[in-house]
Amino acid sequence: MLELRPNCECCDRDLSPDSPDARICTYECTFCSDCVDRVLGGVCPNCGGNFVARPIRPAAMLAKNPAATKRVLKAEGCLPVAPRAA
């Protein structure tokens, strides 16, 4: 089950469980769409993978399976990643 992390690892922007701006990679690294597009160029700085829009968990299911509350932030900052080779 997805953790639904509460913030962007780059800029620390709040990302509610129903945020359409949340992006995740295959490891659930979580970033906002602005950082993914403008800073990271669509490449996860942690694993080198791509991003997809994070699914929205319906409110009724959040009561049973709440979103994570632990904030994750890159201590070294959020630097652009070199594009993947084709």
76: in domain: no
Q: Which residues contact 6 (CB under 8 A, 6 or more apart)?
A: 14, 15, 16, 67, 68, 69, 70, 71
52: in domain: yes
pLDDT of residue 74: 83
- pTM for the full model? 0.86
Tokens of 65: 């399976």
Tokens 């950082």 -> residue:
35
Check which CATH number belongs to the domain holding 45 and give it.
3.30.40
Domain span holding position 16:
1-62
Chain segment 59-82, per-residue pLDDT in tens: 999 999 999 999 999 877 777 655
25: in domain: yes
Q: Which helix (H) or strand (E) holds 71?
A: none
Chain segment 4-25, per-residue pLDDT in tens: 999 999 999 999 999 999 999 9
